[in-house]
């Protein structure tokens, strides 16, 4: 059977899409529901919200379902939806200190004010396949004390380790930027302001950022930081009331924040700080972001992770997957043109060889 | 603990299969024969995350017999979450005796510390290694650093230290201080503090170094010379804890954990080696 490429194009395109949809539902297994995805594929939901840069668990779950688990595709769906939404205003700046903390750890000191709170984590689990999950019946969960419930009723903020160190003059105090750059409204310019760097990193693709951060740690970069603090929990979102002008809290978002310190001897004898803040819970990405924020403060560009154009132009999952996959598009013209050159030059090289 | 307990019969004693253990032990023997030289090994997947001690645990699991007594520490502490996690794996797959007493243990696996108590020649210390290559600080490429070792060309490392000294009046390397082993190989000391480096020199025990992610094993055999790089007019120096003592046991000559007490930034100090500190308190040495 031949591949009809010209006339049946319209049908082929529609059928290709239908086939994918058919694979999703054409079987006897129960269909996924959004609550299932939201509650049991939390890592996927948070990755998609972060890279799609839209905080909406419901829509992220929908995107994951529709993209059949392809998370870059799902992030793309979410970001494409986000862009249709009207920008009604900007929320007020939030301090990480205000976080209603569910988990917070510091690698710099054995104990810190407020304490180390291990919370929910797989860091210290044994990676053994649990075959019992293959045929699982829902059982009662054990009752383990958790900050989740405890803190909902009271305002409590944990002191930031970085602030304590800053007071002592051990950690750098950063300059405030008057205006926050908005990478969704303006094309990024280089050298990029820190706000643009942090925004790009915040919605960067986890895998790409992980790769670059790891390269810096391992031997192609200057930064191997210590985590002053990694915390996750709920951050308040506030806006200025459009009529009264007063600041009002309109809700909370889940987030992961990482502050990493690196000794700097070059200009000042002080610890520099790398900052990571990610929508949802994604510690791997928050740490990678802190590493890259720090590498991008470097004035020498010896390694890929220190080069802001290299990093910021290549970590966006939606940009990079789109362009790499565009190679599947027809390139007949382009190729024909190359073909012509190659043939001509082959001919010539034959004649030259004969001479 | 996993709620549904893992069926142990699916796994071999000490998790790794016997052929893998044999490969690791052969590489250990080779490492002992060439002190400080990095020996590549296959490095299997084990159920801990890379970077959490997968090299050390592969060495430990390959050496463990049913009679062994194991001590596991992380940052000097027996109770640190990572030490506990490694002990959980050993308990689950070997069920051997575990101790907190550095003198009792036949094998001690450690991350970032050498116990304060002097180890003896029947004991093995296994250190977890993130960066086996001491020259990585000055050279990113593996093929180049291998050549530098082969030619014993450590000039760039010396230059690094010299430039540090000229710029800052001090060497900026904190932990992971480079050492020369047996007068031949430059060796990475894992991030053990400088405090612990003198304890590697002519130690009675065997010290093994395992880097799982980087797939390297190296060793310092008993009674081997291990010297930190230093200049004639600028001696190597360890961390300065002068005037400080342990809040729990009163010791003044150990490596300390600095702890921030409150938001005012007040500090207190306790021994990093928890087993040693506990022993001092039990025997009322203070």
Dist. CA B54–CA B276, nearest whole Å: 25
Q: Which residues contact B25 (CB under 8 A, 6 or more apart)?
A: B62, B63
Confidence of residue A1 (pLDDT cuts 50, 70, 90): very low
For residue B53, give every residue at least 6 positions away whose Cβ sits within 8 Å of its Cβ, in sequence order, or none.
B74, B82, B86, B109, B111, B128, B212
Per mean pLDDT, which range of A287-291, A336-340, B70-74, B113-117 is the poorest?
A336-340
**Predicted local distance difference test score (pLDDT) of residue A217:** 93
Reported CATH class of domain B8-138+147-228:
alpha beta
Query: Which helix (H) or strand (E) element contains residue A206?
Result: helix A206-218
A339 pLDDT band, cuts 50/70/90, is very high
Domain ranges of chain A: 12-82, 96-120+145-315
The structure tokens listed for A162 are 């970085």
Is the Cβ pair B263, A164 closer than 8 Å?
yes
Query: Rounded to an integer, what distance in angstroms lies between the CA atom of residue B180 and that of residue A253?
Result: 52
With a cut of 80, say whether residue A256 has pLDDT above it.
Answer: yes
Subunit contact B4:A132, Cβ cutoff 8 A: yes
Which residue from B minimizes the CA distance to A303?
B140
Measure CB to CB from residue B2 to each of A109, A130, A269 and give the nearest one.
Answer: A130
Terminal CA-CA length for chain A: 48
Q: What is the pLDDT of residue B1?
A: 37
- What pLDDT is recorded for position B5? 46
Average pLDDT, stretch A338-353?
88
**Across the interface, do A127 and B75 touch by the CB < 8 Å criterion?**
no
**pLDDT at B221 > cutoff 50:** yes
CB contact under 8 A, B260 and A112: yes
- Residues of A within 8 A of B82 (CB-CB) are 124
CA–CA min distance A106, chain B (Å):
11
Of residues B55, B212, B271, B275, which has the active-site annotation? B271
Count CB atoms within 10 A of the CB of residue A207: 16
CATH 3.40.50.11310 residue ranges of chain B are 8-138+147-228
Size of interface A-B (CB pairs under 8 A): 71
Q: Residue A70 above 80 pLDDT?
A: yes
Query: What mean pLDDT is reported for chain A?
Result: 90
Q: Furthest-apart CA pair in chain B: how many Å?
A: 62
Residues of B in contact with A220 (CB under 8 A): 140
Interface check A113 vs B, CB under 8 A: yes
- pLDDT for A266 equals 75
Give the pairing type, strands B69-74 and B97-98.
Answer: parallel
Q: pLDDT value at position B26?
A: 97
What does the pLDDT read at residue B25?
A: 98
Which DSSP category does A92 fall into? P
Residue B169 is among the residues annotated as catalytic for this protein = no
pLDDT higher than threshold 50 for residue A204: yes
Told to judge if B277 belongs to the known catalytic residues of this protein, a careful annotator would answer: yes
pLDDT at A142: 76
- The string of pLDDT tens digits covering residues A232-249 is 999 999 999 989 999 999
Q: Are B197 and B116 in contact (CB under 8 A)?
A: no
The confidence score (pLDDT) of residue B9 equals: 59
What's residue B3's pLDDT?
37
Interfacial residues of B (vs A; Cβ cutoff 8 Å): 2-4, 6-7, 47-49, 52, 75, 77, 81-82, 84-85, 88-89, 92, 131, 133, 136, 140, 164, 167-168, 172, 174, 257-263, 265, 270
Does B257 sit within 8 Å of A124, measured CB to CB? no
- Is pLDDT above 80 for A221? yes
Task: Name which of B47, B164, B259 is nearest A110 (Cβ-Cβ).
Answer: B259
Does the ipTM surpass 0.85? no
pLDDT at A146 (0 to 100): 67
A274 DSSP 8-state letter? E
Contact (CB, 8 A) for B198 and B40:
no
For chain B, give the DSSP string: --SS---GGGSBTTBS-HHHHHHHHHHHHHHHHSTT--EE------SS-TTSSHHHHHHHHHH--TT-EEEEEETTBSSSHHHHHHHHHHHHHT--EE-S-TTT-SEEEEES---SSPP-TT-EEEEE-S---GGGGT---HHHHHHHHHTT--HHHHHHHHHHHHHHSS----SS--EEETTTEEE--TT--GGGGGGGTT-SSEEEEEETTTTEEEEE-TT--EEE--BTTB-------TT---TTT---SS-EEEEE-STT--EEEEES-HHHHHHHHHTT--
Candidates A103, A106, A110, partner chain B, best to mutate (most B CBs within 10 A): A110
pLDDT of residue A153: 40
Is B249 among the catalytic positions? Answer: yes
**pLDDT tens for each residue of B122-139:** 999 999 999 999 999 999
Catalytic residue among B94, B210, B249, B275: B249
pLDDT band at A7 (very low <50, low <70, confident <90, very high): low
What average pLDDT does this structure show over A106-117?
A: 90
Q: At CA B239, angle to CA B237 and CA B243, rounded to 5?
A: 115
**Chain B hits for A303, Cβ within 8 Å:** 140
pLDDT of residue A89: 84
End-to-end CA distance of chain B: 38
- Concerning whether B94 is annotated as a catalytic residue, the answer is no
What's the pLDDT at A135?
87
pLDDT at B194 over 90: yes
Local confidence band at A152 (pLDDT 50, 70, 90 cut-offs)? very low
Predicted TM-score (pTM) of the model is 0.88
Smallest CA–CA distance, residue B121 to chain A, in Å, is 32
Q: What is the per-residue pLDDT for A149?
A: 54
pLDDT of residue A175: 83
pLDDT for position A5: 54
Q: How far apart are CA B76 and CA B191, in angstroms?
A: 12
Q: Is the pLDDT of residue A145 over 80?
A: no
Given a cut of 90, is residue A222 above it in pLDDT? no
d(CA A162, CA A164): 5
pLDDT in tens, B22-81: 999 999 999 999 999 999 999 998 888 888 999 999 999 999 999 999 999 999 999 999
Mean pLDDT over each residue of chain B, to the nearest integer: 93
A97-111, A340-354, B152-166, B183-197: range with lowest mean pLDDT: A340-354
């Amino acid at each position: 059977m031949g591949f009809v490429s010209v006339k049946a194009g319209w049908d082929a395109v529609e059928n290709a899409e239908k086939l994918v949809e058919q694979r999703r539902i054409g079987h006897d297994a129960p269909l996924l529901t959004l609550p299932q995805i939201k509650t049991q594929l939390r890592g996927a939901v948070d990755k998609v919200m972060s890279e799609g840069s839209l905080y909406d668990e419901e829509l992220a779950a929908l995107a994951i379902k529709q993209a059949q688990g392809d998370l870059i595709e799902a992030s793309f769906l979410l970001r494409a939806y986000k862009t249709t939404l009207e920008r009604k205003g900007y929320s007020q700046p939030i301090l990480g200190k205000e976080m209603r903390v569910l988990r917070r750890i510091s690698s710099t000191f054995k104990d810190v004010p407020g304490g180390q709170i291990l919370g929910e984590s797989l860091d210290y689990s044994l990676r053994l396949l649990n075959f019992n999950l293959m045929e699982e019946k829902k059982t009662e969960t054990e009752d383990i004390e958790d900050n989740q419930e405890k803190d909902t009723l009271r305002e409590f903020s944990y002191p930031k380790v970085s602030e304590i160190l800053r007071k002592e003059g051990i950690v750098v105090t950063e300059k405030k930027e008057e205006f926050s750059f908005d990478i969704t409204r303006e094309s990024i310019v280089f050298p990029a302001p820190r706000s643009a760097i942090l925004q790009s990193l915040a919605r960067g693709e986890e895998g790409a950022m992980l790769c670059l951060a790891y390269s810096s740690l391992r031997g192609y970069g200057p930064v191997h930081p210590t985590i002053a603090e990694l915390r996750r929990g709920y951050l308040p979102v506030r806006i200025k009331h459009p009529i009264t002008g007063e600041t009002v809290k309109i809700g909370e978002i889940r987030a992961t924040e990482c502050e990493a310190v690196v000794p700097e001897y070059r200009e000042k004898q002080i610890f520099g700080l790398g900052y990571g803040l990610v929508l949802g819970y994604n510690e791997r990405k928050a740490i990678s972001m802190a590493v890259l924020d720090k590498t991008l403060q470097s004035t020498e560009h010896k390694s890929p992770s220190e080069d802001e154009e290299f990093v910021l132009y290549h970590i966006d999952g939606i940009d990079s997957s789109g362009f790499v996959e565009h190679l599947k598009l027809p390139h007949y013209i382009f190729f024909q043109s190359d073909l012509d050159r190659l043939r001509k030059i082959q001919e010539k090289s034959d004649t030259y060889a004969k001479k | 603990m996993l709620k549904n307990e893992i069926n142990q019969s699916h796994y071999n004693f000490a998790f790794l299969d016997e052929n893998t253990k044999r490969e690791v032990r052969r590489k250990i023997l080779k490492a002992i024969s060439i002190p400080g030289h990095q020996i590549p090994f296959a490095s299997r997947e084990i159920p801990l995350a890379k970077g959490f001690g997968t090299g050390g645990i592969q060495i430990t699991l390959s050496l463990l017999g049913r009679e062994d007594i194991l001590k596991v520490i992380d940052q000097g502490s027996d109770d640190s979450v990572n030490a506990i996690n490694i002990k959980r794996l050993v308990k689950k797959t070997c069920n051997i005796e575990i101790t907190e007493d550095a003198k009792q243990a036949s094998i001690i696996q450690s991350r970032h510390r050498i116990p304060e108590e002097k180890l003896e020649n029947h004991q093995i210390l296994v250190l977890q290694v993130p960066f086996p290559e001491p020259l990585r600080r000055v050279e990113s490429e593996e093929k180049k650093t291998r050549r530098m070792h082969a030619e014993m060309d450590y000039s760039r490392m010396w230059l690094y230290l010299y430039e540090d000294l000229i710029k800052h009046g001090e060497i900026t390397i904190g932990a992971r201080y480079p050492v020369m082993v047996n007068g031949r190989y430059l060796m990475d000391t894992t991030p053990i503090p400088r405090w612990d480096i003198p304890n590697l020199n002519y130690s009675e025990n065997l010290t093994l170094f395992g880097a799982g992610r980087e797939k390297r094993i190296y060793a310092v055999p008993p009674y081997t010379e291990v010297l930190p790089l230093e200049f004639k007019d600028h001696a190597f120096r360890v961390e300065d804890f002068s005037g400080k003592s342990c809040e729990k046991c009163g010791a003044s000559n150990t490596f300390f954990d600095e702890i921030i007490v409150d938001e005012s930034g007040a500090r207190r100090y306790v021994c990093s080696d928890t087993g040693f500190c506990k022993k001092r308190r039990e025997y009322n040495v203070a």
